Amino acid sequence: MTVIGVTGPSGAGKSLFCSYFEELGCLHLDCDKIYHSLVDSPSECTRALEAEFGASVIRPDGSLDRGALGAIVFAPGADELRKKLNKISHAFVLSEVRKAISETDKCCAIIDAPLLFEAGYEKECDMTVALLSSPELRLARLQARDSRPVEALRARMAAAPEDSFYSSRADITVINDGDENKLLDAAREIIGKIK
């Protein structure tokens, strides 16, 4: 089993890139989706988040109010609160990632994690890939997929590290300029290296 970690800033195109790996036979572990599955109903994770951030981040049905939590952790100067959120959520997500990898019969797994290095998930990987894209393309992608105001999207983008943070840590850097064929070729090339 080869484990490849894919990371990069929000809007870089990680979901599309990782879907190509999935088409090529890899298990795709989307850490954002795993997180959402953990907080969309009452769970150990939501209880831990409530204990840290208060009842205002929990809906009456026991699920996480991601908007309320986002307003807290993406506010200017909220770096320490964001670190607390990440510490709690990463532990729960990593447990699910390890379980899925242990149960699959596929020969390759992709850990799709925006905070791959911050969470320490790179320790689970045989290879890491940074996917980068221009701020303009990133914002356009975020606007297309998200109904949040542009100011909120820009705040989320501003909270991400510089591109050099990703490229200096990853084994491979791929630039997504919007050409889907080039992106697919990059995925094929990476798979070719591990076969």
For the segment 149-177, what is each residue's pLDDT rounded down to a tens digit? 888 888 888 878 999 999 999 999 999 99
Q: Write the CA distances from 28 to 12, 21, 155, integer angstroms.
A: 17, 7, 28
pLDDT band at residue 4 using 50, 70 and 90 as cut-offs: very high
Backbone dihedral angles phi then psi of residue 118, each to the nearest 5 degrees? -65, -35
For the segment 82-131, what is each residue's pLDDT rounded down to a tens digit? 999 999 999 999 999 999 999 999 999 999 998 999 999 999 999 999 99
pTM: 0.87
Q: Burial-class residue 165 by CB neighbours within 10 Å (0-12, 13-18, 19+).
A: middle
Q: What domains are defined for the chain?
A: 2-194 (3.40.50.300)
